[in-house]
């Protein structure tokens, strides 16, 4: 089966092209590009996959409204942003970079007559190339603090037999510890599940996670971003 035949037989691609056509028909003067990211862009979507559709407009507050809802049984996550704002986000590094980079680097276009998505990818790669390790370490430290706090609360809740709440916080701690690992190694992930799986944290219990956080704290200290220090260090 060719790629075109596969797309025609795929209900998510069929819905994506229908949405593209509706958007271009109603907002043709506003829309610069339309693409999909996530599993559909990677070509490994399944019946349980969402449709992550990105609409790039020429001006802010133009085009359709962003929304999240089911259409014909398929969850559609429609994001809308101006070209300038979307490009700015693609060239910013945040603590969530390990979970955000994939959409900048892997997008399949549905409508992109001027190659906007290729430009977004090049801009993001250029930003990564000029980023010094200290910047990644600083972002990693922020995730480490979130992970450490969530871990501590999870342990306390478990001691009080608040097991369900403890599990929620333990999952949060695993995710942020995974993002620490991603930032320190400049590795991005497909999604949250991929992050904890690829870093070996998916099944980590509280004790194992404590050991991981301790090792990460040592590495951050060695990189000049200690996780603890005197009051004066807070403003450095």
- Average confidence (pLDDT) over 110-127: 98
> Strand order of the sheet with strand 67-71?
67-71, 74-82, 51-57, 31-37, 107-111
Query: How far is 142 from 101, CA to CA, in rounded Å?
Result: 18
Q: What is the pLDDT of residue 233?
A: 82
Tokens 């900048």 correspond to 104
Answer yes or no: do 73 and 9 share one domain.
Answer: yes
pLDDT at residue 191 tops 90: yes
Confidence of residue 1 (pLDDT cuts 50, 70, 90): very low
Give the CATH number, domain containing residue 71. 3.30.460.10
Query: How far is 212 from 149, CA to CA, in rounded Å?
Result: 14
- Tell me the pLDDT tens digit for each residue of 162-174: 999 999 999 999 9
Answer yes or no: do 43 and 124 share one domain.
Answer: yes
Query: How far is 200 from 174, CA to CA, in rounded Å?
Result: 10
Domain boundary among 130, 145, 167: 130
Helix (H) or strand (E) holding 200: none
Answer yes or no: do 171 and 87 share one domain.
Answer: no
Number of structural domains, the chain? 2
Domain boundary among 105, 130, 155: 130
- Tell me the pLDDT tens digit for each residue of 70-108: 999 999 999 999 999 999 999 999 999 999 999 999 999
Answer yes or no: do 124 and 138 share one domain.
Answer: no
Domain boundary among 130, 160, 179: 130
- Tell me the pLDDT tens digit for each residue of 21-50: 999 999 999 999 999 999 999 999 999 999
User: Residue ranges of the alpha helices (H) in the chain?
Assistant: 3-9, 11-26, 39-42, 83-90, 97-105, 116-130, 133-159, 163-185, 192-198, 206-222
- Tell me the pLDDT tens digit for each residue of 49-73: 999 999 999 999 999 999 999 999 9
Q: What is the pLDDT of residue 81?
A: 97
Answer yes or no: do 150 and 124 share one domain.
Answer: no
CA nearest neighbour of 123 among 95, 104, 110: 104
Query: How far is 51 from 45, CA to CA, in rounded Å?
Result: 9
Answer yes or no: do 118 and 158 share one domain.
Answer: no
3-state secondary structure of 156: helix
Answer yes or no: do 121 and 155 share one domain.
Answer: no
Q: What is the pLDDT of residue 58?
A: 98
Q: What is the residue range of 88's domain?
A: 3-130
């Amino acid at each position: 089966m060719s790629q075109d035949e596969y797309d025609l037989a795929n209900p998510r691609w069929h819905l994506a092209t229908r949405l593209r056509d509706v958007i271009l028909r109603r907002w043709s003067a506003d829309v610069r590009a339309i693409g999909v990211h996530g599993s559909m862009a990677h070509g490994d979507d399944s019946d349980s996959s969402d449709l992550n559709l990105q609409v790039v407009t020429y001006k802010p507050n133009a085009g359709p409204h962003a929304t999240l809802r089911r259409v014909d049984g398929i969850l559609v996550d429609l994001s809308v942003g101006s070209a300038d704002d979307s490009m700015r986000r693609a060239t910013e590094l945040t603590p969530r970079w390990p979970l955000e980079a994939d959409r900048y680097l892997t997008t399949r276009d549905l409508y992109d007559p001027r190659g906007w998505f290729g430009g977004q990818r090049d801009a993001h790669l250029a930003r990564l190339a000029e980023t010094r390790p200290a910047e990644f370490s600083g972002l990693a430290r922020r995730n480490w603090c979130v992970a450490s706090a969530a871990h501590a609360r999870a342990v306390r809740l478990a001691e009080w037999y608040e097991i369900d709440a403890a599990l929620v916080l333990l999952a949060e701690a695993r995710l942020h510890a995974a993002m620490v690992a991603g930032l320190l190694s400049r590795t991005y992930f497909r999604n949250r599940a991929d992050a904890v799986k690829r870093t070996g944290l998916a099944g980590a219990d509280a004790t194992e996670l404590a050991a991981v956080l301790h090792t990460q704290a040592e590495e951050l200290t060695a990189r000049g971003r200690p996780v603890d220090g005197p009051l004066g260090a807070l403003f450095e």
